[in-house]
Amino acid sequence: MSAGTDTRTGMRPATPTSALSGRGRWRVWLGHNDAFVILVGFALLASVISPAFLTPHNLGNLLTQSALLGLLAIAQFLVVVSGGFDLSVAAVMAFSSLVFAHFIGLGFVPAALLAILAGGTCGLFSGLVITKGRVQPLIATLAMMGIARGLALSVSEKSILVNDPTVAALRGFSLGILSTPTLVWFFVLTIAVAWLALTRQALHLYAIGGNEVTARLAGVAVNRIKLGVYVASGLLSGLTGVVMVMRSSSGVPLGGMGWELDTIASIVIGGVNLFGGEGRLMRAMAGVLIYQMIANVMNLSGLDPFYQDIVRAGVIVAAVGLSIFRNRKAGRRVIQGRSA
């Protein structure tokens, strides 16, 4: 991360990376890919400790377990890159799982569409409140969290069991080690990666998160993009609700309690800048897997689930603290670079 320091000697400094020594270049590379390295290290360590870890079956399980968090983390990723937060993702997921369970009588596809639409509506509401109402994303989505959770509980206080042949079939289905939730996750991930790489809107998303004023002055339709990102987050959360039903065969009003923080923590582990403008989706997904593996290890070690909450809280604060520390270091460099 110390790329800028030794570049100002000549008149036209060469590009920072190529000017660096081999060791420096390695450090830059590591800085950009630490999440992958940690992930591989984790996997190696786990397979040494337990030979069962690297079996296809176990890897499939890990992916399935990560799928819901992973889908929500994609939603959170988009919002955080735009410079906001969405604390409602998990509650919206729970709400739409109930909408799906409630309307399953209409058939699988209509019910799923309704559930996704319900999520999208929640996102639209948050987005309008943030862009038109000028309410901080944090509060607007916190309110949405309450609204969605309340709506979910008023549909049903208890989980609704879903008895539908399509759901049952999808639940049993798998492609090699890839279960249905994993497949949906990968499918959405592919679309999101392509969208992020190819489209103008994605570029604008990063620009808004990086420097909203500059983006606005350059003619970027800031409010439209922001609104779009909250709608997308809502739709994705809605889809995740449907996937949750495929996994557990029921709509769960209290499903995903506390996951809003888990999504933030895992993408931050995956190198996303908490204050917007920076982050790569694949790396964020590595963060999700790391986070899920920590949870797995805690489970396997038989730690009391209530202790796990405390450990989780510690991991979240540590991850965010580290990201802020890193960010501050980078920020300081920029300021130094500017001063006379």
Partner 1 sequence: MTSNMATADSGIDWRKLLAENAIIPALLVFIVLAGIATGGRFLSPSNLTIILFQSSVLGVLVLGQTLVMLVAGIDLSIAAVAILAAVIMGAGGSERQIMMNFSGILPYLGFLPAILIAIAGAALAGLINGLVVVKLRIPAFIATLAMSLALSGLAMLATGGSPVHYPDPFYESFGQTKFLGLPMPIYMFLALSLGLGLYLSRSKLSVQLYATGGNPRAAALSGIPVSRITILAYTASGLLGGIAGFLFLARTGSVAPHSGGNLLLETIAAVVIGGVSLAGGKGNVLNAFAGTLLLVGLSNLMNILLISPHLQDAVSGIIIVVAIMANTRLQDAPAGQ
Partner 2 sequence: MRTIVKTFPGVQALRGVDFDLMPGEIHCLIGENGAGKSTLMRVLTGAQRPDSGEIEISGETFSGLNPALSQKLGVGMIYQEADLVPALSARDNIFLGHERVEAGMILKKKEMRREVERIFGQLNLNFPPSTIVRDLAPAQRQLVQIAKSLSRNIRILVLDEPTAALTDSEIGYLFDLLNELKSRGIGMVYVSHRLDEIMAIADRVTVLRDGSHVATQRIGDVTKGSLIAAMVGRNIDAEARSTSSKADKVVLSVRGLTVKGQFEDVGFDLYQGEVLGLAGLIGAGRSEVLECLFGVTQPDAGSISVEGKAVKVNSPIEAILLGFGLVPEERRESGLVLGRSVAENITFPVLDRFSRFTFLSRGKLVEVASRLVSQLSIKTPSLGQSVRTLSGGNQQKVVIGKWLAAGTRILLLDEPTRGIDINAKFELYQLVRDLTAKGMSVIMASSEMPELLALSDRILVMSEGRLVAELDAAMTDQVEIMHHAVAGARREGEAA
Q: Which of 49, 218, 318, 322 binds partner 2 (CB under 8 A)?
A: 218
Residues 6+ away with beta carbon under 8 Å from 288: 66, 69, 70, 73, 266, 267, 270
Q: Which of 273, 292, 296, 323 binds partner 2 (CB under 8 A)?
A: 273
Query: Counting contacts by CB under 8 A, is residue 110 touching partner 2?
Result: no
Q: Which of 243, 277, 292, 323 binds partner 2 (CB under 8 A)?
A: 277
Query: Counting contacts by CB under 8 A, is residue 109 touching partner 2?
Result: no
Residues 6+ away with beta carbon under 8 Å from 296: 62, 65
Which range in 206-214, 291-299, 300-308, 317-325 contacts partner 2 by CB under 8 A? 206-214
What is the gyration radius of the CA atoms in the chain, in angstroms?
A: 21
Q: Which of 159, 278, 297, 298 binds partner 2 (CB under 8 A)?
A: 278
Site for partner 2 in 16-35 (CB under 8 A): 16-17
Pick from 203, 179, 196: nearest CA to 282: 196
316-to-33, 97, 104, 304, 311 alpha-carbon distances in Å: 20, 26, 37, 18, 9
CA 186 – CA 325 distance, rounded (Å)? 32
Query: What number of chain residues touch partner 1 (CB under 8 A)?
Result: 43
Query: Counting contacts by CB under 8 A, is residue 306 touching partner 1?
Result: yes
Query: Counting contacts by CB under 8 A, is residue 154 touching partner 1?
Result: yes
CA 265 – CA 260 distance, rounded (Å)? 9
Q: Which of 55, 190, 214, 299 binds partner 2 (CB under 8 A)?
A: 214
Beta-bridge mates of residue 174: 179
Residues 6+ away with beta carbon under 8 Å from 268: 274, 287, 319, 320, 323
> How wide is the angle at C-alpha 77 spanned by C-alphas 81 and 308, nearest 5°?
130
Per residue, the 3-state secondary structure of 139-165, as one string, reads: HHHHHHHHHHHHHHHHHCCCCEECCCH
Q: Which of 107, 110, 321, 337 binds partner 1 (CB under 8 A)?
A: 321
Query: Counting contacts by CB under 8 A, is residue 15 touching partner 2?
Result: yes
CA 75 – CA 67 distance, rounded (Å)? 13
CA 114 – CA 315 distance, rounded (Å)? 36
Q: Which of 210, 216, 308, 330 binds partner 1 (CB under 8 A)?
A: 308
Site for partner 1 in 241-270 (CB under 8 A): 258, 261, 264
Q: Which is nearer to partner 1, 32 or 328 (CB)?
A: 328
Residue 134 interacting entry, from partner 1, partner 2, none, C-beta within 5 to 8 Å by type? partner 1
Chain residues that interact with partner 1, rule: CB under 8 A? 85, 129, 133-136, 138-140, 142-154, 157, 258, 261, 264, 274, 304-310, 312-314, 316-317, 320-321, 324, 328
Chain residues that interact with partner 2, rule: CB under 8 A? 3-4, 7-8, 11-17, 198-201, 203-204, 206-207, 209-211, 214-215, 217-220, 273, 277-278, 330, 333-334, 336-340
